[in-house]
Amino acid sequence: MSEDSSSRGFFSRQRRANVEGGRQGVRKVKVSPEEEGQLVRIAAKMGVTVPRLLLESALAVEQNETPTQRKQAMAELFAMHRLLAAISNNVNQLARQANATGEVAAESAVTLRKVREVAERIDTVIDGLSS
């Protein structure tokens, strides 16, 4: 899945959600020009602000993932769900044809292999969410 701002989609939000009472804590971090460039580049790639990148990166040590990573994984799962739905339509058409003619179409093996691949991708993403 592309990381540019045009494809971040429904689940992405560059700013964090507001919290009741606001955020009172402030931390100042001094960085070199090279480090600033790296932070800006990484934040842009992830579609977040530099402060959010720093906060999520620091908090990820205990969480094993950032909220942004979880949102990206969820978006990937939804995309795979749509792909699986399209493949399911193909399986239904092949089954209908096999029932009508008594013959299994040659492309059935390819379609079923694709179902397995998508199911494995879904398992991999879910495993990543639970680790």
The pLDDT, as a whole number, for residue 25 is: 85
The distance in angstroms from the start CA to the end CA of the chain is 21
The pLDDT, as a whole number, for residue 82 is: 87
- Write out pLDDT tens, residues 29-73: 899 999 999 999 998 988 888 998 888 888 776 766 666 777 777
Q: 27: closest CA among 59, 54, 49?
A: 54
Sole residue written with tokens 């691949």: 117
Contacts of 72 by beta carbon, 8 Å cutoff, 6+ apart: 1, 11, 12
- Write out pLDDT tens, residues 80-122: 888 888 888 888 999 999 999 998 888 888 888 888 888 888 8
More confidently predicted of 61 and 12 = 61
